[in-house]
């Protein structure tokens, strides 16, 4: 279905970005992006994805809204104690009428995944996406920066690209910056703007991004098993 005049007006500036265009915008509208995690990286990322025109956001988070979740951007303080996914769904719908946010459920078949967080959540989320053969991005804020790892299908897996961080919680603006960067990466992959031949890792350190290719670790099973 062609973009409506309202959609063209809404995404006008984005449509002017080199490599973007009507077809890319239609790809984004047809995309189903799973967002794993709901913390201060995921909240801003969800909003950016919704505002960019992603059609369906599948929210995958089991936590409840806590007072400190103000950093998540999508959790009003009066929703404390409710599931974060339901609070986020209402906030996203209020932000734009075109996004269809849903609670992720088995069988949803996302076309891409954004995993926000570290530890087991990142490992398991990335491995599910890799096995599903969909592009995915893993983002984690850490100390004064964070890392965003982009994994097109067939690229070295998250485990290959993983490096141990400091474990120090990141300030909210830093986490939001990492979330925005991750949203930009998954939009490139989900919108088909680029067909990258390899994965990459962006380390954000005190505001300075450093990009490097991901490299498959010798013996990693991701080289052979789907």
Partner 1 sequence: MSPAARLDVRAVACPLTWVRTRIALDRLGAGEALEVLLEAGEPLESVPRSAELEGHRVAERAPHPGGGWRVLLVKGSGAPLAAGSWEV
Output the six-digit token pair for 196. 């990258």
Half-sphere exposure of 3 (CA within 13 A, CB side): 21
Looking at 36, 59, 188, 204, which residue binds partner 1 (CB under 8 A)? Answer: 188
For residue 194, state whether it binds partner 1 (rule: CB under 8 A).
yes
CB of 152 to partner 1, least distance (A): 9
Q: Report the residue number, 166 or 211, with the smaller CB distance to partner 1.
A: 211
Q: How many residues bind partner 1 (CB under 8 A)?
A: 22
For residue 4, state whether it binds partner 1 (rule: CB under 8 A).
no
Pairing of the two strands 200-205 and 208-213 = antiparallel
Q: Report the residue number, 18 or 67, with the smaller CB distance to partner 1.
A: 18
For residue 219, state whether it binds partner 1 (rule: CB under 8 A).
no
Q: What angle do CA 156, 160, 162 make, to 5 degrees?
A: 125
Among the residue ranges 92-100, 114-122, 174-182, 188-196, the one whose residues contact partner 1 (CB under 8 A): 188-196
* Cα–Cα distance, 35 to 122 (Å, whole number): 11
For residue 205, state whether it binds partner 1 (rule: CB under 8 A).
no
Among the residue ranges 48-56, 61-69, 163-171, 207-215, the one whose residues contact partner 1 (CB under 8 A): 207-215
For residue 209, state whether it binds partner 1 (rule: CB under 8 A).
no
Q: Report the residue number, 133 or 197, with the smaller CB distance to partner 1.
A: 197
Taking residue 164's Cβ as centre, other Cβ atoms within 10 Å add up to 7
Near partner 1 in 21-80, by CB under 8 A? 21-22
Contacting residues toward partner 1, per CB under 8 A: 8-9, 12-13, 15-22, 188, 193-194, 196-198, 200, 211-213
């Amino acid at each position: 279905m062609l973009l409506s005049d309202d959609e063209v007006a809404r995404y006008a500036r984005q449509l002017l970005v080199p490599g973007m265009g009507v077809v890319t915008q239609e790809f984004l509208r047809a995309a189903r992006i799973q967002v794993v995690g709901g913390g201060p990286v995921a909240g801003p990322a969800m909003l950016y994805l919704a505002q960019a025109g992603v059609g369906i956001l599948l929210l995958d988070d089991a936590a409840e809204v806590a007072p400190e979740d103000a950093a998540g951007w999508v959790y009003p303080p009066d929703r404390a104690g409710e599931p974060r996914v339901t609070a986020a769904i209402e906030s996203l719908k209020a932000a734009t009428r075109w996004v269809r946010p849903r609670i992720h459920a088995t069988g949803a078949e996302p076309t891409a995944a954004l995993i926000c967080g570290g530890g087991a959540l990142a490992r398991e989320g990335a491995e599910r996406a890799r096995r599903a053969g969909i592009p995915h991005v893993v983002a984690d804020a850490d100390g004064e920066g964070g890392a965003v790892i982009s994994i097109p299908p067939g690229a070295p897996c998250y485990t290959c690209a993983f490096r141990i961080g400091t474990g120090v919680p990141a300030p909210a603006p830093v986490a939001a910056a990492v979330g925005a960067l991750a949203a930009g990466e998954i939009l490139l992959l989900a919108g088909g703007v680029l067909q990258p031949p390899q994965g990459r890792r962006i380390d954000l350190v005190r505001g300075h991004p450093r990009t490097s290719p991901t490299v498959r670790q010798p013996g990693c099973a991701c080289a052979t098993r789907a």
